[in-house]
Amino acid sequence: MAARDRIRRWQASLRTFYLLELPLLQFRVFGAATDRSESFQKIEAEFRHASGKALLHMAEDIEMQLKTRRHEVHTEPSLRQLLERLQGEHSAGISERERALLEISSRIASLLDNLSEEIGGEHLYRTSDTDTPEGLTVGSHTADCT
State in Å, rounded, how far the first CA of the chain is from the last one: 17
Averaged pLDDT of the chain: 80
pLDDT tens-digit map of 77-133: 899 999 999 999 998 889 999 999 999 999 999 999 999 888 877 676 665 554 444
State the burial class of residue 79 (Cβ atoms within 10 Å of its Cβ: 0-12, 13-18, 19+): buried
H-type helices in 1-142, by residue range? 2-30, 38-68, 79-89, 96-121
Residue 128 pLDDT: 53
The answer to pTM > 0.85 is no
Residue 49 pLDDT: 96
62-84 average pLDDT score: 78
